[in-house]
Amino acid sequence: MRTLLAFIIAPLSIGAIAFGLTFAITGLNYFTLGATLIFTIYAYVVALIFGLPLYLLLKKRIAGRYSSYVKAAVILSVVSILNYSVIPLYDRFTTYPNWSPSWTTLISLLLEGSVYPILLSLFAVSIFWIIVRPDHSSNKPENQ
């Protein structure tokens, strides 16, 4: 039951962060609601496609240490990094073949597209871990 609750609340926390940030910047409007909806849907899709298999693997193979879940968060953030920085850069180079940005522009684009997904993934996985708490004896996998 705690696992199901964690899979419901952890991705929802990403939507709450998106709501808070866009509300602080633009106020309550359609953009705020749309950004919240998009981030929440994206978080649930990543949680179901990548998070659930990672959780089942961690539950079966590895002790429920927080460090294991942090590593899983970094793995989950790779999906977002590809989606928000590497693919758009590739698209920019293929659409505008004469585009020659400076190294600082490239680094800033990569950082903007990678730091936020990593931080948001760490936040969501931390929320998940706090709810599930696999390090408690009642939740430990059978092979420990």
60-94 pLDDT, tens digit per residue, is: 776 567 777 777 777 777 776 776 666 666 766 77
pTM of the complete model: 0.69
Higher-scoring residue by pLDDT: 130, 79: 130
- Hey, where are the domains in the chain? 2-134
Closest CA to 127 of 86, 56, 50, 73: 73
Counts for the chain of helices (H) and strands (E), in that order: 6, 0
Q: Residue 106: its pLDDT value, please? A: 66
Output the six-digit token pair for 13.
């926390």
Q: How confident is the model at residue 109 (pLDDT cuts 50, 70, 90)?
A: low
